[in-house]
């Protein structure tokens, strides 16, 4: 969380909510994890944020300006949210690949991160 000290909290939460909704279903485990991130960071509760208030293109533009450490930290957080229910379907996979593109995460790094979660589940 330390590398996330100077990020826009609302945008982080909106991205987390969009990730949770990637497959059209937000399960309790995903919501609980997002709420835990918010609580631990002392941020506003996720249910107070309108995740439709900003587009993925706008989020992508914001994310591209972050440091590599911030991008990797956020990306791991998003993967944890998506794997919270121990399922990872095609729509979630597409979201992750699109997000990696927005964040300039190289395919080799992406595959390494995904294999970590695939092996853990």
| pTM given for the model | 0.82
- Model confidence at 116: pLDDT above 80: no
Give one DSSP letter per residue of 30-94, joined into a string: HHHHHHHHHHHHTPPPGGGS-TTSS-HHHHHHHHHTS-HHHHHHHHHHHHHHHHTTS---HHHHH
Please state the domain count of the chain: 1
pLDDT, residue 29, reads 92
**CATH number for the domain including 61?**
1.10.3680.10
Condensed to tens digits (0 to 9), the pLDDT of residues 8-55 reads: 888 888 888 889 989 888 889 998 888 888 887 777 666 666 677 778
Please give the residue range of the domain that contains residue 69. Answer: 2-120
């Amino acid at each position: 969380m330390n590398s996330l000290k100077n990020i826009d909290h609302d945008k982080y939460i909106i991205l987390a909510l969009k990730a949770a909704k990637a497959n059209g279903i937000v399960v309790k485990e995903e919501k609980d994890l997002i709420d835990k991130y918010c609580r631990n960071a002392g941020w506003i509760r996720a249910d107070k944020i309108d995740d439709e208030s900003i587009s993925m293109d706008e989020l992508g533009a914001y994310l591209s300006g972050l440091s590599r450490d911030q991008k990797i930290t956020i990306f791991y957080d998003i993967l944890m949210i998506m794997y919270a229910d121990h399922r990872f379907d095609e729509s979630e996979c597409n979201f992750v690949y699109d997000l990696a593109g927005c964040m300039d995460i190289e395919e080799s790094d992406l595959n390494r991160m995904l294999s970590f979660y695939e092996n853990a589940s």
